[in-house]
Amino acid sequence: MIKNKEDYLEVFVISHSDKLHFWLPQNVQVGQIIEGVVQNNPFPRSKLKPQAKYAFKDETGQTLEDSQPLRFQGVRAASELRLVQIDLPVIELHSLKGSHFDILLPDMIIGYSRNNDKPDIDLSNYIAGSNINVDEISRNHGQILLDNDNRYVIRVLHPNGISANGRYYEQGEIIVLEDRMRLLFGELSVQIRFDQT
């Protein structure tokens, strides 16, 4: 039971594919809040590691400062915060034509939006201005995962498969991602890049 609601902020926290409703204290450092969330791990499908480093990212992708309270970081009521492990390499998916890219996070779905049903990584953003046939790209084409060795991988979800650096992977197979790897979804070619900074 919350005694004084002015001291708390109602938010939704996302971890992998879990999304939970929280009332977080506004006057406590974000790092302390994260530590409590990780230690208690209320997320049913997320395997949080107490020894790993985590951060909150807001809806714009900005990382919240862990030494500052929520009150001073511009987080609005009912907004979404994503709990992400930050001691992992940053992996980006880049367009080969143009400047569009997305940062990949575990449990994100890659695919092509159909009507208003959008995947986490929407490949329609990579096709602007081209004549690529998108019929072979599904809404749920692949899923980003972390394997047991903390490597980023894609699980192929669709029967049309995915090609990686010229090798074809069928539905159910796992692609271990590498820097500068080219992925082919139907006729659409994109590139994986590891942020080395």
pLDDT digits (tens, 9 = 90+) for 50-109: 878 899 998 888 899 999 999 999 999 999 999 988 877 789 999 987 778 888 888 889
Residue 169 pLDDT greater than 90, yes or no: yes
Residue 182 pLDDT greater than 90, yes or no: yes
What is the architecture of the domain spanning 5-85?
Roll (3.10)
Whole-number pLDDT of residue 1:
52
How many whole angstroms separate alpha carbon 153 and alpha carbon 177? 5
How many whole angstroms separate alpha carbon 82 and alpha carbon 12? 8
Quick one: residue 16, left, alpha or beta (phi over 0 = left, psi -120 to 50 = alpha)?
left
User: What are the structural domain ranges in the chain?
Assistant: 5-85, 90-195
Overall CATH class of domain 90-195: mainly beta
Residue 146 pLDDT greater than 60, yes or no: yes
